[in-house]
Amino acid sequence: MNRIKTTGMYELFPRSGCADSRSTHYCAGCGHGIVHKLIAEALAELQIQNETIIFNPVGCSVFGYYYWDAGNISAAHGRSPSAATGIARTLKDRVIICYQGDGDLAAIGLNSTLQAANRGEHIAVIFINNATYGMTGGQMAPTTLGGMKTLTSPFGRDPLTDGYPLHVCELINQLAAPVYIERVSVADTKRIFKARNAVFKALRIQKEGKGYAFVEIIAPCPTSLKLSPLECARFCANEMEAEFPLGCLRDKSDQPIAEAVPHQHVSAEEFFSKPDYDFEILAPVVDHACKESSMRFAGFGGQGVLTLGLWLAGAARIDRRFTTWYPSYGPEQRGGAASCSVVISGHEIGSPAADSLDLFVAMNQVAYQRFVCDVKSGGTVFVDETVPLDKKPPTDVKLVRVPAIKLAAEFDSPQSANTVMLAAIATVGNVTLRRESLLKSLEGSFRKKPGQAAANRDVFIRAEQRLKS
Ligand SMILES: Cc1ncc(C[n+]2csc(CCOP(=O)(O)OP(=O)(O)O)c2C)c(N)n1
Looking at the fold, whether 40 and 116 belong to one and the same domain comes out as yes
- For 271, the domain range is 266-468
Tell me the pLDDT tens digit for each residue of 156-168: 999 999 999 999 9
Orientation angle between helical segments 450-468 and 435-444, nearest 10 degrees: 150
pLDDT surpasses 90 at 266: no
Q: Is residue 68 part of a domain?
A: yes
Q: What is the pLDDT of residue 447?
A: 79
Of the candidates 82, 137, 72, 136, the residue with the CA atom closest to the CA atom of residue 105: 82
190 and 279 fall within a common domain: no
Structural domains of the chain, count: 2
Residue to probe by mutation, ligand 1, list 135, 148, 240, most atoms within 8 Å of CB = 135
Distant-in-sequence contacts of 285-289, Cβ < 8 A, 24+ apart: 285/320, 286/346, 286/347, 286/348, 287/321, 287/346, 287/347, 288/346, 288/347, 289/346
Distances (CA, A) of 417 to 299, 412, 414: 11, 11, 6
The per-residue pLDDT for range 383-408, each reduced to its tens digit, is 999 999 989 999 999 999 999 999 99
Q: Tell me: do 162 and 236 sit in the same domain.
A: yes
Check pocket membership of 63 for ligand 1, CB cut-off 6 A. Answer: no
Q: Is 26 part of a structural domain of the chain?
A: yes
Q: How high is the pLDDT of residue 312? A: 96
Contacts with 276 (C-beta within 8 Å, 6 or more apart), sequence order: 444, 445, 446, 447, 448, 449
* pLDDT digit string, tens, across residues 268-321: 555 554 444 556 677 888 898 999 999 999 999 889 999 999 999 999 999 999
Residues 119 and 151: their CA atoms lie apart, in Å, by 36
Residues 234 and 299 in one domain: no
Query: What percent of the chain lies above the pLDDT cut of 70?
Result: 93
Percent of the chain at pLDDT exceeding 90: 80
Rounded mean pLDDT, 176-201: 98
Query: Is 221 part of any domain?
Result: yes
Q: Is the shortest distance between the CB of 210 and ligand 1 below 6 Å?
A: no
Ligand 1 centroid – CA 107 distance (Å): 9
Q: How far apart are CA 238 and CA 231, in angstroms?
A: 10
Least confident range of 42-56, 63-77, 148-162, 431-445: 431-445
Q: Which amino acid is at 194?
A: K
Convert the pLDDT of each residue in 49-59 to its tens digit: 999 999 999 99
The closest residue, in CA terms, to atom 21 on ligand 1 is: 60
Residues 231 and 116 in one domain: yes
Closest to 315 in 3D by CA, of 432, 400, 418: 432
Residue 302 in domain: yes
| Max CA separation in the chain (angstroms) | 84
Which residue, by CA, sits nearest to atom 4 of ligand 1? 77
- Cβ of residue 444 lying under 6 Å from some atom of ligand 1: no
- Answer with the one of 182, 217, 251 that is the final residue of a domain: 251
Q: What is the distance between the alpha carbons of residues 8 and 199, in angstroms, rounded to a whole number?
A: 13
* CATH code for position 22: 3.40.50.970
Considering the domain architecture, whether residues 270 and 195 belong to the same structural domain is answered as no
Q: Are residues 295 and 421 in the same domain?
A: yes
What CATH code is carried by the domain that includes residue 430?
3.40.920.10
